[in-house]
Structure 1
Amino acid sequence: MTAQALLRTLPPIMMQSVRRTYSLDVAAPLLRTQGYINGRWTSAASLFPVLDPATGQEIAQVSDCGPGEAKRAVDAAYEAFQSWKQFTAKERSVLLRKWYELMTQHKEDLAKLITFESGKPLAEALGEIGYSASFLEWFSEEARRVYGDVVPSPFKDRKMLLLKQPVGVAAVITPWNFPSAMITRKVAAALAAGCTVVIKPAEDTPLSALALAELAEQAGIPAGVVNVVPCSRENTPAVGQVLCTDPLVGKISFTGSTATGKVLLKMAADTVKKASMELGGHAPFIVFDSADLDLAVKGAMASKFRNSGQTCVCSNRFLVQSGVHDQFLQKVGEAMDRELRIGHGIEPTTTQGPLINPRAAEKVAHQISDAVSLGAKVLRGGSRLDGSYVEPTLLADVNTSMLCTREETFGPVMPVIRFDTEAEAVAIANASNVGLAGYFFSQDVSQIWRVAEALEVGMVGVNEGLLSCPEGAFGGYKQSGLGREGSKYGIEEYLEVKYMCFGGLVP
């Protein structure tokens, strides 16, 4: 499509975005471009570019850390662990609270970094910063609640205690879709437990991680406790290998694809590291005949089109019962027309930014064309636009043979499958090797209990399309991962349990 033809087809906000030039201020207060190792900003031998996915323009050149820098970071974290684990829970709590307060004070600057490096609309980026900071707040409080146990002993001359101690150095590998929140959700729990961390951010979005390191330093977190090693796509395998195989690393925490998670688990197996894996999702979104349709449409819009569909818990397969199928399609189509605006994330009216890069857009376009070739009807959108943009798309007459129902989309496509019975919907929903989140809408109380228990997922949204918060346990079933993040369980992932048998006592 030519540029002029594109301008004729896009809504006004996109026309404005195409014509304008956007740039991140090179003097932005929290813009850092070097690695952060042992409390020092560290240059690497080479640089790699960070691009604005909305325009393809370069934002910054960032130090391309390699295995040497990764090893230095691990050594620094291990050395810092020897003193950090001696800090009292209250001391760690106070420092995490200071970090939280600094994030809150700098929320606008942090949000702009997210918008420019990930394409996320600014309003959503601000929401992410609030969500990110909430984990620092939550785990600053949980740091003081790491309780052991005194176990009733079967012997009169012995006391039995269960102690909880930090696992050591945690390697944290994070994705681009939530470049701030995926760091704080892991790092806050690790630091609260008494662990130190080495962070490997996604190559597309290193600026958010480096900004968080700057604020951690300002908060007074000691050198070596938090380290960041940004690197290019080319250096990622070598850096990842160091983090997963170095015997000084006691724990791996990764968020990303199931395929990559399996590779990291295999590497970590040789040294038998603890591992948390938050992997792929393929969330079903079920609308039963008894549902409040307006509430279901609101939930569908929030779940599907947040971050242009690029969230691990966003709904991927929409199952709508025959009695409300046609009405749901009409209502959700009208909501798309009314609420969605494509454009650069910095524009205040933009709700749909670009996908992270052209490869991601091509994948989504391929899923759409595959569905259409197998009989799906495009009711809204359907086109890939210039660069990394894809139109929000509504598909009807979808069946389970189509790619969009068998693979995670990670884009703004809503494929709708008609079903007749509850058992049919549950069977389709569970026909996946992953099970992160699932959603359904119903006003039938008995049905709510049946379906919530039957869905093979780690998180269930009942009459709700957004379910993430620091109090909730985030994680999945099957190949969606291992362990939980957030909640009172999140800190347990960074602790070992030591059984202490105290004998020789006089009864």
Structure 2
Amino acid sequence: MQSILPLPTQPVKPGTSTGQQFWQSSEKTIDSYSPADGQLIARVHVSSRADYDRVVETAQAAFQQWRQVPAPRRGEIVRQMGEQFRRYKRELGTLVSYEMGKSLQEGLGEVQEIIDICDFAVGQSRQLYGLSMHSERPAHRMFEQWHSLGVVGIISAFNFPVAVWSWNAMLAWVCGDVCIWKPSEKTPLTALACQQIIGDVLRNNDVPEGVSCLVTGGRDAGEWLARDPRIALVSATGSTRMGKAVAEAVAGRLGRSLLELGGNNAIIVSEHADLDLAIPAIVFGAVGTAGQRCTTTRRLIVQESIYDDVKNRLKNAYAQLRIGSPLDESFHVGPLIDQQAVKGYQTAVNEIRELGGRFVVEPGLIDGSGFESGCYVKPCIAEAENQWPIVQKETFAPILYLLKYTSLDDAIAQQNAVPQGLSSAIFTLNMREAERFLSIAGSDCGIANVNIGTSGAEIGGAFGGEKETGGGRESGSDAWKAYMRRQTNTVNYGTTMPLAQGITFEL
């Protein structure tokens, strides 16, 4: 595949985004292979500890200047970044698709998420509001304000190699923070591309070197960020196992963490559902990104009176799925990210069979011409039980579990009876069922939808989940507060010194 972006011709080195400084003290590299065709597409230098320390020192120095830039001005720079991503949407979306394996439409959609969060952050830059409170003391004014936090570390996952970085970085930047990005070692080239795209914007606006930084590597680089007291906030997206390790390390130094971890998302299909609406949403939720979204639909909880109808409709829909190169827009499903993911799919399939599960749509590997990477698998559907250990786990693959329910209370109980709590949905035209699902006694997830699927969150709403999903919130609403520190202020403009709670203290 020929270069489609203004990328360096040499292996990329760790450093800052403006192109003025790149540091390399390690000869170790990461090889990025496309799951679409198995071809080597990039060789990226791995950051050494010395590289990392230089990046942090540069970021710390940049923060001293960047936080003094007025927030609306920071927003204007982010607006210009959004324009750059608009300019390179097709090219970057194609690269995302090729390096990660998601369909081209999803790759383009991911770049659109960057554009959307840039637009959101521009408006947010003029709305970093505090509150005004009435003091109990006369001639006193009490209020709160928000200040920039510091250096933000961003650890992103392979399945959304650029969008999740932007959810964090764009808000952090308008808040006056600086960012160090540790992308997944499975998708380093897309991270480099993003840094190159914004490089001209940063240079043209005389942004201090170190406002946007990149470090590369595997687990070591993530641990450096998590354990480093110089990093004010670590935002980590990935598996629950990884998130627990990050949370423990950050908490050990009393730092801040923002965690977006695993999902085990369910859709409840009521007997009052519009199935013509539900089936396409279920299929996309289950097979989009080859089941490698944290919001992928993994469990389908169907009212027993319509169970057979739903099952047959899904069999017919799955029979129409076309699997192939993610760059060909005629295909619905692309490959898994690598052979490790394929093994995870096979292990789950074997465990389902051992537990007595019956496949409604059969699993399998796909090989032959056009599938040389060995990363293509068949999306499958298995009749299962919610309490099975394999159903309780998140398998990053296109496996959908089909479950029955009798009453709505039963359905909600099954939905909530997993360790994860990210996304959920119900399909029903019954208002009472919908409101029951959204009530305090309904879904326990961070996202709860009615008559749409579990996948496809919009920028305007805060994204995140509960329980083993980590509790973090990114993107819209008031998620910006995670990237700032709150300060309460009281000003005495009177001529006496009254104390709070009526306390008297005389000398």
Q: TM-score, normalised by structure 2?
A: 0.91
Residue of structure 1 in register with 2:92 after alignment? 110
Correspondence 1:338-357 to 2 at 5 A: 338=320, 340-357=321-338
Residue of structure 2 in register with 1:158 after alignment? 140
Contact 1:371 1:403 in 2 (8 A): no
Residue of structure 2 in register with 1:425 after alignment? 411
Shift of 1:78: 0.9
Correspondence 1:396-435 to 2 at 5 A: 396=383, 398-435=384-421
Residues 286-325 of structure 1, C-alpha deviation per residue, up to 9 Å, x if partnerless? Answer: 1111111111101101211110111001111111111111
Residue of structure 2 in register with 1:37 after alignment? 16
Correspondence 1:237-316 to 2 at 5 A: 237-316=219-298
Q: Does 1:381 align with 2:367?
A: no
Unaligned runs of 5+ in 2: 368-373, 497-507
Cα distance in 2, alignment partners of residues 165 and 45 from structure 1 = 37
SS at match of 2:126: helix
Residue of structure 2 in register with 1:90 after alignment? 72
Percentage identity across paired residues of the two chains: 28
Shift of 1:467: 4.2
Shift of 1:374: 2.4
Residue of structure 2 in register with 1:492 after alignment? 481
SS at match of 2:234: strand
Residues 61-114 of structure 1, C-alpha deviation per residue, up to 9 Å, x if partnerless? Answer: 101112222221111111100010011111101100000010011011101211
SS at match of 2:448: strand
Shift of 1:272: 1.2
Cα distance in 2, alignment partners of residues 93 and 64 from structure 1 = 32
Among 488, 491, 495, the alignment partner of 1:502 is 491
Shift of 1:245: 2.1
Among 125, 137, 144, the alignment partner of 2:107 is 125
Among 123, 145, 166, the alignment partner of 1:184 is 166
Residue of structure 2 in register with 1:9 after alignment? none
Residues 414-445 of structure 1, C-alpha deviation per residue, up to 9 Å, x if partnerless? Answer: 11012212121111111112101111111110
Among 348, 360, 367, the alignment partner of 1:367 is 348
Moved over 3 A (4+): 41-44, 401-404
1:354 counterpart letter in structure 2: P
SS at match of 1:42: coil
Cα distance in 2, alignment partners of residues 243 and 75 from structure 1 = 13
Contact 1:291 1:443 in 2 (8 A): yes
Cα distance in 1, alignment partners of residues 172 and 353 from structure 2 = 46
Contact 1:283 1:317 in 2 (8 A): yes
Residues 206-242 of structure 1, C-alpha deviation per residue, up to 9 Å, x if partnerless? Answer: 11111111122211243210001122xxxx2322222
Unaligned runs of 5+ in 1: 1-23
SS at match of 1:439: strand
Cα distance in 2, alignment partners of residues 448 and 38 from structure 1 = 47
Shift of 1:27: 6.4
Aligned pairs, number: 478
Residue of structure 2 in register with 1:473 after alignment? 462
Cα distance in 1, alignment partners of residues 253 and 139 from structure 2 = 38
Cα distance in 1, alignment partners of residues 77 and 5 from structure 2 = 25
1:492 counterpart letter in structure 2: K
Cα distance in 2, alignment partners of residues 342 and 27 from structure 1 = 25
Contact 1:108 1:126 in 2 (8 A): yes
Cα distance in 1, alignment partners of residues 17 and 401 from structure 2 = 48
Q: TM-score, normalised by structure 1?
A: 0.91
Contact 2:286 2:296 in 1 (8 A): yes
1:342 counterpart letter in structure 2: I
Cα distance in 2, alignment partners of residues 436 and 401 from structure 1 = 18
Residue of structure 2 in register with 1:143 after alignment? 125
Residue of structure 1 in register with 2:424 after alignment? 438
Residue of structure 1 in register with 2:303 after alignment? 321
Cα distance in 2, alignment partners of residues 44 and 133 from structure 1 = 34
Contact 2:473 2:479 in 1 (8 A): yes
2:257 counterpart letter in structure 1: A
Contact 1:289 1:324 in 2 (8 A): yes
For the aligned residues, what is the CA RMSD?
1.7
Residues 136-156 of structure 1, C-alpha deviation per residue, up to 9 Å, x if partnerless? Answer: 111121111001122211111
Contact 2:79 2:122 in 1 (8 A): yes
Cα distance in 1, alignment partners of residues 406 and 247 from structure 2 = 40
| TM-aligned CA distance change 1:440 to 1:276, over 3 Å | same
Among 437, 449, 457, the alignment partner of 1:461 is 449
Residue of structure 2 in register with 1:332 after alignment? 314
Residue of structure 2 in register with 1:3 after alignment? none
SS at match of 1:146: coil
Cα distance in 2, alignment partners of residues 96 and 230 from structure 1 = 24
| TM-aligned CA distance change 1:361 to 1:31, over 3 Å | farther
Contact 1:355 1:388 in 2 (8 A): yes
Contact 1:38 1:77 in 2 (8 A): no
Among 81, 101, 110, the alignment partner of 2:83 is 101
Among 380, 383, 390, the alignment partner of 1:393 is 380
Cα distance in 1, alignment partners of residues 33 and 364 from structure 2 = 23
Cα distance in 2, alignment partners of residues 302 and 491 from structure 1 = 30
Residue of structure 2 in register with 1:10 after alignment? none
1:29 counterpart letter in structure 2: P
Shift of 1:345: 1.1
Among 438, 461, 480, the alignment partner of 1:452 is 438
